[in-house]
Structure 1
């Protein structure tokens, strides 16, 4: 994917995660802290579709919010292709899942 396409897919994940977190009482404190401290986003390079699905399962098991993004297929990738996974929650918990990945 081009850098613009990657930016678009990560934006979809970020907005969806915000909506989910804002509507989940468990994450009220985390989302308010995130909003009031600069809304940091860390973009990591995924390995492949199967690894993203595995990370999503691990995030769910850790009681984190996650959001997959599947592309509509109108431009660069096949329809339904899993292009992005966003995870929201405590950094220490997310790091247990993603610390081995490289920055994009």
Structure 2
């Protein structure tokens, strides 16, 4: 049973290739985890020690990512919005992913619990 988790939310409207999606999720996971390490070390340590639960879900638009980010910030959950460099499939600066947490599962679920898995 996990007490903590991290959720990466990717934009389904971008129709990213599987490889591109994987890389964007990885960027989000690392960046948000590092932020949690600095801002919420007790959450990071708990998440890390119990196996680093991660879930990938989808949002329909950039706007939805911003709305979810605002909710995460209101609840004090570390998060990271990922902008692509534009070297391969999409234009530079395109927002692709929002990573939320790691944080307590019950708090993270308030934001992401209704989103569909990728």
Bin for the TM-score computed over the shorter chain: over 0.9
Per residue, is there more helix in 1 or in 2? 1
- Matched residue, 1:22: 37
Unaligned runs of 5+ in 1: none
1:39-91 alpha-carbon deviations (Å, 9 max, x no partner)? 11100011110000000001000111110000011111111111000000111
- Matched residue, 2:55: 42
Q: Distance in 2 between matches of 1:100 and 1:78?
A: 29
TM-score by length of 1: 0.93
Aligned length: 102
- Matched residue, 1:96: 110
Q: What's the RMSD between the two structures over aligned residues?
A: 0.9
Q: Distance in 1 between matches of 2:107 and 2:23?
A: 26
Kindly state the Cα deviation for residue 21 of structure 1 after the two structures are TM-superposed: 1.1
- Structure 1 position 81 matched with structure 2 position 94: yes
TM-score by length of 2: 0.83
- Matched residue, 1:65: 78
